[in-house]
Amino acid sequence: MQLTGAEIVIECLKEQGVDTVFGYPGGSILNVYDELYKHSDEITHILTSHEQGAAHAADGYARATGKVGVCFATSGPGATNLVTGIATACMDSIPLVAITCNVGVSLLGKDSFQEIDITGITMPITKHNFIVKDVKNLAETIRKAFVIAQKGRPGPVLVDIPKDVTANKAEYKKQEIAPVTASKDICEAEIESALKIISKSRKPYIFVGGGAVLADASEELYEFVKKVDAPVTDSLMGKGAFPGTDPLYTGMLGMHGTKTSNYGVSECDLLIVIGARFSDRVTGNAKKFAKNARILQFDVDAAEMNKNVLITDGVVGDIKVALGMINRRLEEQSHPEWIEKIMAYKEQYPLKYHEEGLTGPFVVEEIYRQTEGDAVIVTEVGQHQMWAAQFYKFTKPRTFLTSGGLGTMGYGLGASLGAKVGMPDKTVVNIAGDGCFRMNMNEIATAARYNIPIIQVVVNNHVLGMVRQWQNLFYGKRYSATVLNDSVDFVKLAEALGATGVRAATKEEFKSAFASALTLGRPVVIDCQIDSDEKVWPMVAPGAAISEAFDEKDLEERSN
């Protein structure tokens, strides 16, 4: 049948099982929005306050559900406002399809009103992108976009459609879309080599990254850990892939990882890396990282092998498939002396914080207690992000959503909206610093408009906390442009935007405020007043090895 380009867009989204789109309309995408209006009973559209919020919401929806997130934007500034959200998804390998519309084909390249080369702009931050200049190619291109976004290592794909293409007609035939499945093509020799190196190890350590979450490999990972009999650490992106309550779990690795994990990885004889990319925030000084160990890396992306850290062996392929193959052949290992040593580290170096007054770690622990560990926790970027990673015990994948690679301030609020829309039966909490909250706090209006009952916790220290921490430790306490000494009132702001606002300055006030927020069934902003000089511990100084992690007690001893 003959359909317009706009009709084809909507029909293709329906083919893919898309039930929610986040976006913001404008002139160039008007035909698509007009068609979307006719299908509002099949596809829900969430009008965000800003296109960046739409991209982050699509990202959060994808992370929480495992489906492809979809966002819409018009040409020019509408499209460029998606860029930060697309880059965030790209760095963390999140499947997202962004559909933008541009000026008509005849107006391209003429500096027309609201014209922008969005495919050129997003080429470095997408897995692939397209501009569709002929309506006959539109359906095929959208279908390709969804496959590319999901296949292998996931990522964002952008499809740009000139306005006249959305009005032109072409023959459309509905297709039944087969789900994108993991490739089982894994080199047998790599599996055999992995089995040998694991069997020879006496002090193995397992490091879990976001790839284990994206591959839905939690069950295989758990069986693998028990068979290898090794302690487990993770990255920000890997949280929840292995239960944070398991005795073998030793906390996060890297700049703000636990001393147990940092020391253990530095002393192990085999580091088994499951879907992690050796970020500089994890490795510290890469030349000194795991210097006593052979490194065995599992990753779906061959480009990650030997990219940041030289490895000994690697298995390229889908992690769920690869671990399944290993588990079927690996005999159970036993390393009692090694495990005993790591458990002694856990007892010797627990995560601690000041007990007096309201603090960031207390806020996170109280959220954990009241949600009984069964919530989707979203964060912005900074101190609060590290406290959330340290003090909330994640036991399931897709329950910790954070910008790990790009470190995007302003990510969390939009992402929490997407997560709650995708997982309406889950409690969704966005933890933000006051600096991050300011970035996209306009999305509280979106939450209020649709009555999306997210709980927004602002850890308000009236400074840019993580930057100030660096200034305090490494820049002679010169607090250049990091003090937020103004009169912004987040409680009044929340109320003005249609949400409930509460201020908490004590532990009891926060306990009460959060307990109430869990029952209200509407968006709530809790403004938590904490000290400006509270810090995240432990810490690894820039350029240092992770084995040189230090905490407040170490700092005091050095200064005496």
Q: CB burial class (10 A; 0-12, 13-18, 19+) of residue 233?
A: buried
Residue among 127, 163, 259, 420 flagged as catalytic: 163
Relative to beta strand 313-316, strand 375-379 is unpaired
ω into residue 538 within 30 of 0, thus cis? yes
Give the position of tokens 């083919």.
15
- Within 8 A by CB and 6+ apart from 322, the residues are 186, 191, 298, 315
DSSP assignment letter at 238: T
Backbone angles phi, psi at 42, to 5 degrees: -110, -35
Q: Is residue 113 annotated as a catalytic residue, yes or no?
A: yes
- Within 8 A by CB and 6+ apart from 486, the residues are none
Task: Return the SS3 of 503.
Answer: strand
Residue among 14, 67, 114, 393 flagged as catalytic: 114
Alpha-carbon gap, residue 517 to 370, rounded angstroms: 11
List the structure tokens of 293.
Answer: 């160990």
Q: Is residue 535 annotated as a catalytic residue, yes or no?
A: no
Instruction: Count Cβ atoms below 10 Å from residue 449 Cβ, excluding itself.
Output: 16
Q: Is residue 114 annotated as a catalytic residue, yes or no?
A: yes
For residue 492, give the H/E element and its range: helix 490-496
Instruction: Count Cβ atoms below 10 Å from residue 295 Cβ, excluding itself.
Output: 21
Q: Is residue 539 annotated as a catalytic residue, yes or no?
A: no
Residue among 242, 466, 529, 539 flagged as catalytic: 466
Q: Is residue 380 annotated as a catalytic residue, yes or no?
A: no
Residue among 7, 11, 35, 51 flagged as catalytic: 51
Positions annotated as catalytic residues are 51, 113-114, 163, 466
